[in-house]
A and B are shown apart, each in its own frame.
Chain A
Amino acid sequence: MKGIEDIPDCRPGGHARLGRRCFIGGALSLLSMPALAAAAANSLEKPVLRFGLTPVFLSNDLEVLDELKNYLANATGHEVQLVTQRTYQEVTALLVAGNLEAAWICGYPYRKFQDELVLVATPSWRGQPLYQSYLIVGADRGASSLDDCRGDIHAFSDPDSNSGYLVTKAYLAQRHLSEDTFFRKTFFTYGHRNVIRAVAAGLANSGSVDGYVWEVMKSIEPDLVSRTKVLVKSDWYGFPPIAAPARLKGTAAFERLRSAFLGMVSDPVGRSLLGRLQLDGFVDAPPSTFDGIAANIELVRRLG
């Protein structure tokens, strides 16, 4: 439950992946199925539900993973397989390719692959399905604005992260700057917790981090987080959602998964899980929740 990561998604994969799923699932002859929807429907009938997460999630709290797995298995009736990868991109690629039935991804890849993905549910944090990106610096640093961070060594979380990359990049792009010219050096840590570690240790002078992760960690690892402070808080953006390949929309499995997330708050195990994640619950947010991210993508595309 420590660093909760944006989870990359991926679009439905090609036939090859369907074949693999068939192999795993066993019985059905997927080769004869022309329609993706049918294939997806069949695939969801199989007992295994593959759910994608980022590796930082895994490395930080196995208990949360176990609880999530058990909850999903009970709530959906499927056997649940949690899949973790090192980067968002890898998870997103698997999801878009159809090798995962669902994944917890970032709003940024969701908007990038909007046509191929559908929202399952969106977490609600502090009463709304929104969060901010924080630009953090060392606690003992005297900086007062982003301009003071010129020439820094800057830690990003992941190139596919909205809060850990896109927000800062868009902010600079608005000023006709790029991260390579504004900062002396940038690097990716592939995890929001790592960004906090890097800034706390002094490896990076500043970092872009998920505001939700920073706030949650503040209560869990106060010693680490207290060595950093928030310099800039961004606008509110859509919270990293649970997404599934678009072709699965409307299938029974998709609905079961969706109601599992939306009903988590009314289940004891689910409430315990939400408590660990410090979330209110999951809501059915409209895609327009992520319009801010889409705007940033457009801004960066035009100016960056």
Chain B
Amino acid sequence: MKLVDEFRRIPLTIRVPAMVAALMIVVSAIISERVLSRLYETQQQHMAAVVGTYLDGLSNALIPPVLRGDIWETYDILDRTPSTYGVLVPLETIVTGRDGRVLASSHPKSVAPLAELPAEYADRAPPSDGMQIDWEKRTGFGRRDLLYQGRPVGAIHASFDISHLIAERREVLNTLLATNAALAIAFATVGYLLARRMVRPVKTLADHMRSGASATPRPIALEEFPRREGEFAELFHGFNALVEAERERSALTLKLAEEEKLASLGRLASSMAHEINNPLGGLFNCIDTLKRHGADESVRETSLSLLERGLTGIRDVVRAALATYRADRSGRPLTVQDLDDVRLLIGPEIARRQQTLNWERCPDTPSLAVLSGVAVRQALLNLVLNASTAAGDGGKISVQSRFDAEACTLVLAVGDSGPGLSSDALEVLVAPDPAPASRRANGLGLWMVRKMVDETGGRIRVGESDSAGALVELHLPLRDPLEVNHAA
């Protein structure tokens, strides 16, 4: 199984030619086996025919001396027989008499007259007129009974060199191997080229997908499309449609985020208007009092003091509003001032709802500069506004910023005395894919928080606050722990 897995991991461009080559090897093995076995049969038939002719010629000459038991003449005939007989190369010829003993052989020193027929001939005992081939010993064996008046008077036993047949077989085998190897290589090459060509669109698609995952996906250019219309062209069109849809969705999301920002600003503006409006009545009263009783020193002093305090409050509110716009210069690094801005911004809303705010701020440090001032402030503002809404009138809100020296993070914790987070809100904050929940949840505030945290590579922890409400902690990584420690 491991091997199969390994094989599956090999690129298609290699796997296809490898499989083609393997297939060719199997096919060539089968073909070679068939060709060779057919060759064996042909060779054997041919050999049997030639041996038959050879033995026929000998037997006619040999019958008279064998009948007489004439050792010399039998040998003389064998000795005068040509040592090659066309393609046939006799190795040894033995003539036995009626008693089965050797009368004479072509090589009397190895097989002497009157001896028993050697076992390699006797044991083999091919049928009369038959032919046996011993491929291992590279020898063919033939036997022919000598018949006189229909009765056997002796027999010829002959062995033949068949190395030329074996050489022929080897030659055929080599030719087969060479041809098949050449074919396998050719097919594998063609397979490789074809596979590479076929796989090229897939690679293009994969490249676009990979780059789309790490950055904004971009559509596949028309010149990168496969030349012919087909499955791949359709796939490319599909991918481009998907990219287009994704782009539209991102644009829409950005637009919605902007609108959300404006909406929250609207809420702030209305709070601010309220905050400004509240003292305005008192301030006009003071002005009236001054008009009428300005001459009175004590009245004038009191009225001016009231006016100053009222105007100071209005100035603070207006500063906060100004800070919101100042903030929109993107790419500005985070400072503690941004956190203080949130306190200023949320102040009127807290006051309007008569809520209690417990504010703890961390000390300033240059390490904060790795974070975006705008994004962090907007996220914190969203969280605090959410907490304020959840806590309701007269509720409690706690906002804490601190350093976690060990993990080297800035922790922003926002708690409230509300009923806790809804399941959708929870999902938006901590689920691996926040998109579905963000569509269900009303507003984009928490989604923007999640987006900011994800972009910084931080994480969100959700728990219970001291006042039994929700507690949301943003852990935002800082790069340099030494500076944090030093600053802390």
Contact = CB atoms under 8 A, between A and B. Distances in A.
Interface of A: 153, 155, 184-185, 187-190, 194, 197-198, 201-203
B79 interface: yes
Interface stretch (B47-55, B104-112, B122-130): B104-112
Contact of B71 (A185, A190, A197, A202): A185
B76 interface: yes
A187 B109 contact: no
Contact of B109 (A155, A197, A202): A202
A202 B114 contact: no
B236 interface: no
B71 A203 contact: yes
Contacts of A155: 72
Given A185-B71, A187-B72, A202 B79 contact: no
B113 A201 contact: no
A197 B80 CA distance: 12
Nearest to B105: A203
B109 A201 contact: yes
B79 A187 contact: no
A184 B113 CA distance: 11
A190 B70 CA distance: 12
A187 B112 CA distance: 14
B104 A203 contact: yes
B75 interface: yes
Contacts of B114: 153, 184-185
Nearest to B104: A203
B105 to A, nearest CB: 8
A88 B108 CA distance: 27
Contacts of A184: 114
B71 A187 contact: yes
A194 B113 contact: no
Given A201-B79, A203-B104, A194 B112 contact: no
A198 B72 contact: yes
Contacts of B71: 153, 185, 187, 203
Nearest to B72: A189
Contacts of A187: 70-72
Nearest to A202: B109
B268 to A, nearest CB: 129
Label chain A's interface by main secondary structure: mixed
Interface of B: 70-72, 75-76, 79, 104, 107-109, 112-114
B466 to A, nearest CB: 122
A198 B112 CA distance: 11
Contacts of A188: 72
26 contacts: A153-B71, A153-B112, A153-B114, A155-B72, A185-B71, A185-B113, A187-B70, A187-B71, A187-B72, A188-B72, A189-B72, A189-B76, A194-B72, A197-B79, A198-B72, A198-B75, A201-B75, A201-B79, A201-B108, A202-B107, A202-B109, A202-B112, A203-B71, A203-B72, A203-B108, A203-B112
B110 to A, nearest CB: 8
Contact of A194 (B76, B107, B108): B76
A201 B75 CA distance: 10
Contacts of A201: 75, 79, 107-109
For B72, B75, B104, B113, the residue with the greatest tally of chain A CB atoms inside 10 Å of its CB is: B72
Contacts of A189: 72, 76
A217 B108 CA distance: 22
Contact of B108 (A185, A190, A202): A202
A203 B112 CA distance: 6
A164 B76 CA distance: 18
Contacts of B72: 155, 187-190, 194, 198, 203
Given A184-B114, A187-B71, A201-B107, 17 more contacts: A153-B113, A153-B114, A155-B72, A185-B71, A185-B113, A187-B70, A187-B72, A188-B72, A194-B76, A198-B75, A201-B79, A202-B107, A202-B108, A202-B109, A203-B71, A203-B72, A203-B112
A197 B109 CA distance: 12
Listed from nearest, the 10 A-B pairs whose CB atoms lie closest are A202-B109, A203-B108, A202-B108, A189-B72, A187-B71, A203-B75, A187-B72, A201-B108, A153-B113, A185-B114
A167 to B, nearest CB: 19
A185 B70 CA distance: 11
B71 to A, nearest CB: 4
A283 B468 CA distance: 159
Nearest to B76: A194
Contacts of A185: 71, 113-114
A185 B97 CA distance: 15
Contacts of A190: 72
Contacts of A202: 107-109, 112
Contacts of B75: 198, 201, 203
Contacts of A197: 79
A60 B70 CA distance: 22
A51 B108 CA distance: 37
Contacts of A194: 72, 76
Nearest to B113: A153
Determine which residue in A184, A194, A198 has the highest number of CB atoms from chain B within 10 A of its CB, and name it: A198
A20 B112 CA distance: 47
Contacts of A203: 71-72, 75, 104, 108, 112-113
Nearest to B106: A201
Nearest to A205: B112
A200 to B, nearest CB: 10
A187 B76 CA distance: 13
Q: Which of A187, A190, A194, A203 has the most CB of B within 10 A?
A: A203
A97 B76 CA distance: 31
